Structure 1
Amino acid sequence: MVAKHIRNLLYDHDCVIIPGFGGLITRYVPAIVHPVKHTITPPSKRVAFNEKLILNDGLLISTIAYQNSITAAEAQQMVAAFVAQVNTQLRAENTFTLNDIGIFRYNAEQRLVFEYKETDNLLEASFGLPEISARPVRHEESAVLRTLQKNREQEQQLQGNKFKRRLRRVYNTAAALVIAGLTGSALYLLSIQTDYNLSSLNPIAHFTAAEKQSIVADYTTDFTPVSEEERLEAYQAILPAAGIITTIEGEHLAVASDIDAEGWDDNAGLALTTEAEGDVNQETIVEEGAPALTVSEKTGRFYIITGGYARLANAEVSREAVRANGHDGKVLTPLKGSRLFRVSVADFATANEAQTAMNEYRKTYGNSLWVLNN
């Protein structure tokens, strides 16, 4: 671990002292041009050893203490143990290798010498730079070089064309994705507008409406509807011929004949009893009192709207679905300046009541509900 810290300090410092052992000193070496190998070696640092630099300058110990989160005393003990290990190995094997830095050994005179081992470039400005070959250019190789240069240019041109084609494909794909995203965003924003509903874009609804229109248009071009007066005159002309006296009362036809209280007579064949007439009147009253399913004029009430439709047929289908859920579904005809038929689930006298009730209806119809003051 101590050797690792020593090596890291040599990148940033010119001198690293190992207390009680000696100091490692670095010096700058400029770039070297080899005249035989024709190579250029980048600038570097070379390391030398001075066994007289044994005083503690605090650099190594403080670095070990800081990076290992220990005290200075503990770091000093680690350095002392490292020095003892080095001296023991030198006495036993006469050599000690400091990883990636160099080799210590005793010479014939029993003096400690250091041999620098070049591994990584310790100079930060040149760290990672390789050795460059600089082979001289010969005149007889000019034709070969021109051929190689021409081939290299052709290869670069082919690579450039491939890159352009690839870039064009990427551009087309990106443009298609952008257009699709914008279209989807436009449809989404259109669907959340308060005056529109995407159900008006449903093609099946268009076909259904076309079928309904075709049923209405099945009459011939020369067809003339029969009025109510003409229909009653036809009834008066037919019924007396069967021996029945008729009178007109409002929109209902009263029939009198020689019938008994039981109802049907053998000769007349048709009877309308007082009880049946009462049922007809009662049915008429029920029809007149039925709730209005279509609102065609301003009421001043506040309606909770589920959606808007461009066709009345689609709005009626949505209204029936609302009524099937047990709610008071109604169709509001288009207001001035609008072409949408709106479908409501309930209506209230004030806006506060409508806003309060809307939270309950959202459980069934979602968050797209809104309040309209008609």
Structure 2
Amino acid sequence: MVEKHIKSLLYDHDCVIIPEFGGLIARYVPACINPVKHTLSPPSKKIAFNEKLVLNDGLLISTIAHYNRITKDEAQQRVAEFVHKAKSDLQQEKRFELSDIGIFRYNAERRLVFEHTEADNMLEESFGLPELSARPVKVQEPAVLRTLIRERQQELVEEKQPLRRRIKRAYNLAAGLALAGLSVSAFYFLSLQDNYNLSSLSPVAAFTSTGFSNPAVAEPNRYTADYVPFTEEERTGYYAQLLPTAIEAQEGNEFDPAGTSIASGVVVDGFESEEVVQEATAPAEVVEEAAPAHIIYTKDGRSYLISGGYARLENAEHYRETLLEAGHEEVNILLPQPGSRLFRVALADFETPEEAQEALNNYKQKFGETLWVLNN
């Protein structure tokens, strides 16, 4: 009951004294802004407490007697009971609360301390004014400036994309050149090896040959109905052109059709010498050297163990000499067969393919896994 009258008096008065307890003082507080909460508070009253104001000014007791229609003695008795209860709570619970006004406590020095509770705004001029929340205002550029900024950003993005394409294109070109350089270097170092076996690189044999086939001349197709293979005479005549021939003929003499040498008369000191007719020496016969024994240029029905294939006969001869120096006695060279341009070097020959297959494993242990059987 007493708390209700104290609160109503604080709306109209700046000071309300509670006899034998202390005085509540209301002071004006202007409108303020909370920078943390971003709030705007209207003007209000803030309540303070002074424990030295204990003398009874009659305001509180008169108000209680008037509103409750009781005597001042009864009103003073009610105030005394309220003060006794407040002091008892402070002694036992160390705190005493006035509803919607504040809280009383004892500090470490045993002095009474009051904390105002901002529940209601007791300033009548601020009646109905709420606390306002103000959100921070974002600084924005004008619409024209924003449009220009977006256009500039789009231009920058478009400029970056071609640059990335150029960088990617240059990277791909550099990678291709590096790969091509490595491939050329590998083939170059392989070509430096004289005894390198080209049979293991049969897919590349066409590119390592001395020349390429003329694309305008179509090679015969063995699978067509009108295909006519080369005859034995044609093959023999073609390979004979590749083999060395020696034609020795006597030079410096003039021969007549009858086979006699004619020396014309010579005038010496005014006398003409007699004609001398001598029998002419028989002309040297054109001798065609036979093919070396180690060169096989015809089909003989035998099976050969092939160690390597070479595009030039000189290279095949060089490889054969290397094998002979290594201690291998029988090394033959097979001339190219129809459809092939390689001169094949054979380590051994057998009558039947079965015998060649049986001996193949033994030769592989010595000459490598690239050996294979050719049925001539």
Give the alignment's TM-score, normalised by structure 2: 0.37
Structure number having the greater helix percentage: 1
Give the alignment's TM-score, normalised by structure 1: 0.37
Larger radius of gyration between Structure 1 and Structure 2:
2
